Amino acid sequence: MENIDWKNLPFGYVPTDYNVRCTFSDGKWGPIEVSDSEYIPMHMAAACLHYGQEAFEGLKAFRGADGKIRVFRMDENAARFRRSAEGIMMEPLPEEIFCEMVKKVVALNTRFVPPYGTGASLYIRPLEIGISPQVGVKPSKDYMVVIFVSPVGPYFKTGFNPTKVCMSRNYDRVAPLGTGAFKIGGNYAASLKAGEIAHDKGYSVMLYIDPKEKKYFDECGAANFFGIKGNSYITPHSDSILPSITNKSICQLAEDLGMTVERRHIPIEELETFDEVGACGTAAVISPVGQIDDLDTGRSYKFGDGKPGPKSTMLYEKLRGIQLGEEPDTHGWNVVIEEK
Ligand code: PLP
Ligand code: COI
């Protein structure tokens, strides 16, 4: 793709050649279809448009040093996609079909997988919507799954450089016993206002506090939160956050590297005791956080000296190394895509 400036790609939508689709109707999933259209024909009364029956996923394919294309942990995304669907009463897509669709959509768009060494990757976006025409508030009968791809660069403009975030007790993205653990559109709609407030004030993201007690850290917009203290990697245990696959992977790598992993409540008062803090996710990868401003108290917390901390760097390099095929994939996380 000679006309794409791979090194300066933002995190955004770039049209590609094909997407794949699968429809559930009459009580069964149909065949995987390949489409070259960027549009979805839909009835104006479709359930997703009125009552938000929509779930999505985000995973990535990487071009390795050896030229191979690897998709990272698609089985985990398949399982979470199913859980998200079940969480809002949608028909869950069988995990085998999810994986088949991911392999197909990547194989059909290999010319959009960014070259090794550019820092960019191919973002894979599966989504499911309820499509039955209805006005009553009840689960749809029919569903459509679409998976499209887009080459992307870093989610936070700073990339792997410390970013600035803010926190406030005045905004929640989810309810205590709500849908925070599911990756559904409604959670993101609910986060837009706080996100824009953070952006307008010059922060990359809002760091959410737990919605029940307002005492503990939850997560960072569209990424999980972590802190590092000595040799410990500490990340929130909470029912109102998305179980991040990146975070799960980092916990494993931290253990492999001899660190202690703690998944527990992180009280706000503990923040000042961390050596390093950061956000992690498929889009965010590992984004070091250099400053957290508390909008309610005016207090500012600073971390590091303007550069990513040593432990965050070590974990980042290990994770990227596995994704790019530079490090042995000891946990079997990558699926290599056969190129035609
Ligand atoms: N938290 C939220 C709210 C997200 O949207 C994401 C992105 O997927 C994450 C965390 C990170 O999850 P993962 O590492 O599985 O991409
Ligand atoms: C991801 O990390 O995959 C996300 O979905 C983040 C965001 C773009 C919603």
List the domain boundaries for the chain.
6-152, 163-323
Residue 84 Cβ < 6 Å to ligand 1: no
Parallel/antiparallel/unpaired status of strands 205-209 and 121-130 = unpaired
Cβ proximity of 163 and 304 under 8 Å: no
Residue 245 Cβ < 6 Å to ligand 1: yes
User: How many angstroms does the Cα of residue 58 sit away from the middle of ligand 2?
Assistant: 6
Atom number, ligand 2, closest to the C-alpha of residue 282: 2
Tens of pLDDT, residue by residue over 40-97, are: 999 999 999 999 999 999 999 999 999 999 999 999 999 999 999 999 999 999 999 9
Residue 69 Cβ < 6 Å to ligand 1: no
Nearest CA to ligand 2 atom 7: 222
Predicted local confidence at residue 34, as pLDDT: 98
pTM: predicted TM-score of the whole model, two decimal places: 0.97
Fold of 6-152: D-amino Acid Aminotransferase; Chain A, domain 1 (3.30.470)
The tokens of 95 are what? 């995990």
Predicted local confidence at residue 157, as pLDDT: 77
Atom number, ligand 2, closest to the C-alpha of residue 246: 2
Residue 130 Cβ < 6 Å to ligand 1: no
Q: Which ligand is nearest to the CA of 187?
A: 1
Q: In a mutational test of the pocket of ligand 1, which residue from 74, 83, 208, 224 has the highest number of ligand atoms less than 8 Å from its CB?
A: 224
How many Å from the N-terminal Cα to the C-terminal Cα in the chain?
A: 17
DSSP state of 115: P
User: How many angstroms does the Cα of residue 190 sit away from the middle of ligand 2?
Assistant: 15
Predicted local confidence at residue 159, as pLDDT: 77
- What residues are in contact with ligand 2 under a 6 Å CB criterion? 58, 222, 281-283
Residue 58 Cβ < 6 Å to ligand 1: yes
Q: Give the separation between CA 108 and CA 340, rounded to whole angstroms.
A: 9
Q: Which ligand is nearest to the CA of 280?
A: 1
Predicted local confidence at residue 1, as pLDDT: 65
Predicted local confidence at residue 111, as pLDDT: 97
Cβ proximity of 181 and 86 under 8 Å: no
Q: Which ligand is nearest to the CA of 173?
A: 1
∠ Cα 240 144 91 (to 5°): 55
Which residues in the chain come in under a pLDDT of 50?
none
Q: Give the separation between CA 328 and CA 253, rounded to whole angstroms.
A: 12
Residue 242 Cβ < 6 Å to ligand 1: yes
Point out the residues that are catalytic: 183
Residue 240 Cβ < 6 Å to ligand 1: no
Predicted local confidence at residue 2, as pLDDT: 60
The tokens of 268 are what? 């706000």
Predicted local confidence at residue 154, as pLDDT: 84
User: How many angstroms does the Cα of residue 64 sit away from the middle of ligand 1?
Assistant: 23
Residue 76 Cβ < 6 Å to ligand 1: no
CATH of domain 163-323: 3.20.10.10
Q: Give the separation between CA 119 and CA 6, rounded to whole angstroms.
A: 8
Give the residue among 279, 248, 165, 265 at the shortest CA–CA distance from 212.
Answer: 265
Answer whether 6-152 and 163-323 agree in fold. no
